[in-house]
Every structure is written in structure tokens, then in C-alpha cells.
A and B are shown apart, each in its own frame.
Chain A
């Protein structure tokens, strides 16, 4: 499938056109991360066979500690609940990752669901990034240590949130993307807001990888 046929949930804002390399002129920068594969993984943390099978298929130990994030290479696994994870992987590896999971989990009580069309990610950086989050979410950002991921409110919507590359990564649903972006821009504007260059976001991903 050709990439030109694909549109991200924030496609209509044409962010690439507005994007510049982040610098000190604005307090807040944000950009949409490249299209990725998103896989909902369900199974029981307390079942070692499941945890082992999923970990080996993903190439990263499945995080079983509440609200933690596991990362290896370009694959990110976010704990959602004791029986749910969100796996984020490069789009190119989506099919292979799903296949590997299904193969490994054959016969084990579990669910693997491609949810790639349903999500996107935004990377929020800049000196006032955490102020913007204080406007948008009720979660206490001071408790958001590196390696932690939480599901919380964003305006009247919801997001997954974790620290990434001296900023914050928001993972949220496609149909709410327009609302979240607008709400975030509105909160960020008083601090000075710029759209961060996409290359930078990719570099950030590579850096954390």
C-alpha cells in the first residue's frame, strides 16, 4: 500500500506547511508524529505464558507494572490495565508484529487487534509544555516520571500521556484529533506556539529508540 493513499487524523491542518525547526522563540512546540501501527493487546498479566509469549513476539518485556511504558527500538508498549496494552510500532512493521503476536499467542486467552487507523501521536515540547498540560489535563504532571504512561483527561476528551524526548507524547483517538489539537493550540497560544518540523519529531523518535 502506497503512503500517498494515507492520511493522518490531523491531515486537514496541513501541519507540514506551518512547521519550522523549534527554537527559543516560542514557549510551546508540537507536531504530529509519523503514521504508526497501533495494536490493542489483551491478555492476563498474571498468566506467565501470556506475558512470555507477548514479550518474545514484541521483542520487549511486556510491562506489567501499572502505568509503565516499555520501549525497544521503534516499538513502544504502553500499559493500559492489567489486561490491556497499546503497542505502537512503525507502520511498516505492523503486519509482521500482528502476525508475530498472533502466532505466539495461539491457544492463549488473548486478543490482538489492529487499531492503526484509530490513533495518532503528538509530541509536545518547549519550556512551557507542562504548563499547557496543566491547562488541558487534570493529571499531576509532577508525578509523570520518565517511563510512566497514564490515561487521563484532555479537555473534555481523553489521552494517553508519557514523557518523550524532553517533552510529552500524547496518544489519542482519530475522531477526537481535531478537538484535541485545537484545544491544545488554544492552551499553548498564550505561551507562544509553533508547529514543530516533522523531521524533528522523527529524529526525536530515533533518539529515544
Chain B
């Protein structure tokens, strides 16, 4: 029941408007066919499952239908910020790619 700020609509909206989109920055391997099973398995199944700060995606279902990045604390539900996909990537990298 938290509030999320949609970077496209530019407003804080109620959680009911959004849908969770999974962990952020799990890029599809560039060449799946040459990847070994372990590498493909990591991409498919391995998730951080963090207790604490977590970079994740949310989709603004009833609004702009855009996916965006949220840094959220899975223990306290505190939200550090939300960004467009591109800006979120920058913020994530600025933190060294992990928090």
C-alpha cells in the first residue's frame, strides 16, 4: 500500500495503479545460443532476493503503461527513488551496479 512516483507521469500515485515488474537490470544475454547452460540458467532463474535495498521494475498499469525503475527497501518498504529505465540504469551504475 505504498506510493510510487512515476517518472513519466511525474506524480506520486497509489500502488493500486502499478504492477510489479521483477528485478531490474537482468539483461538478456547478447548471444543465448553460445551461452552455456549455467549462464543461461543464471539469467533465467537467479535473482538477488535481497533483504534491504533492491532495484526493481514497476509498470504503471492504469497510467502510462511504462516500465520504470524503483529502488525499494524490501524490509522497510522505504523507497529511495524512481527513474525511467535509462536514468535508472545510470543511477544503478553510479552506485557501482549494486547496493
The smallest C-beta distance from A139 to any residue of chain B, in angstroms, reads 7
Query: In the complex, what residues of A have CB within 8 A of residue B66's CB?
Result: 81-82
Query: In the complex, what residues of A have CB within 8 A of residue B62's CB?
Result: 151-153, 158-159
Is A100 at the interface (CB under 8 A from chain B)?
no
Tally of B interface residues using CB under 8 Å:
15
Is B87 at the interface (CB under 8 A from chain A)?
no
- In Å, the complex CA distance between A81 and B62 comes to 11
Tally of A interface residues using CB under 8 Å:
15
Is B35 at the interface (CB under 8 A from chain A)?
no
Interface residues of A in 144-171 (CB under 8 A from B): 150-153, 158-159
Query: In the complex, what residues of B have CB within 8 A of residue A15's CB?
Result: none
Query: In the complex, what residues of B have CB within 8 A of residue A151's CB?
Result: 17, 60, 62-64
Select which of B9, B10, B16, B64 is within 8 A of A153 by beta carbon.
B16
Query: In the complex, what residues of A have CB within 8 A of residue B64's CB?
Result: 66, 80-82, 84, 151
Select which of B9, B14, B16, B17 is within 8 A of A66 by beta carbon.
B9
Is B89 at the interface (CB under 8 A from chain A)?
no
The smallest C-beta distance from A12 to any residue of chain B, in angstroms, reads 25
Interface residues of B in 12-37 (CB under 8 A from A): 13-14, 16-17
Q: Which residue of A lies closest to B15 (CB)?
A: A138
**Structural contact, A66 and B13, CB atoms closer than 8 A:** no
| Chain B contact residues, majority secondary structure | loop
Query: In the complex, what residues of A have CB within 8 A of residue B13's CB?
Result: 138-139, 152
Is B8 at the interface (CB under 8 A from chain A)?
yes
| Chain A contact residues, majority secondary structure | strand
Interface residues of A in 27-80 (CB under 8 A from B): 66-67, 80
Q: Which residue of B lies closest to A156 (CB)?
A: B16
Query: In the complex, what residues of B have CB within 8 A of residue A152's CB?
Result: 13, 17, 62-63
The smallest C-beta distance from B86 to any residue of chain A, in angstroms, reads 12
Known: A84-B65, A151-B63. A138 touches B17 (CB 8 A): yes
The smallest C-beta distance from B10 to any residue of chain A, in angstroms, reads 5
- In Å, the complex CA distance between A84 and B64 comes to 8
The smallest C-beta distance from A203 to any residue of chain B, in angstroms, reads 30
A-B contact pairs, 5 of them (CB 8 A): A66-B64, A67-B9, A139-B14, A150-B9, A158-B62
Q: Which residues of A contact B (CB under 8 A)?
A: 66-67, 80-82, 84, 138-139, 143, 150-153, 158-159
Instruction: Contacts A139-B13, A158-B61 known; list 17 others, CB within 8 Å.
Output: A66-B8, A66-B11, A66-B64, A67-B9, A67-B11, A81-B66, A82-B64, A84-B64, A84-B65, A138-B13, A139-B14, A151-B17, A152-B17, A152-B62, A152-B63, A153-B14, A153-B62
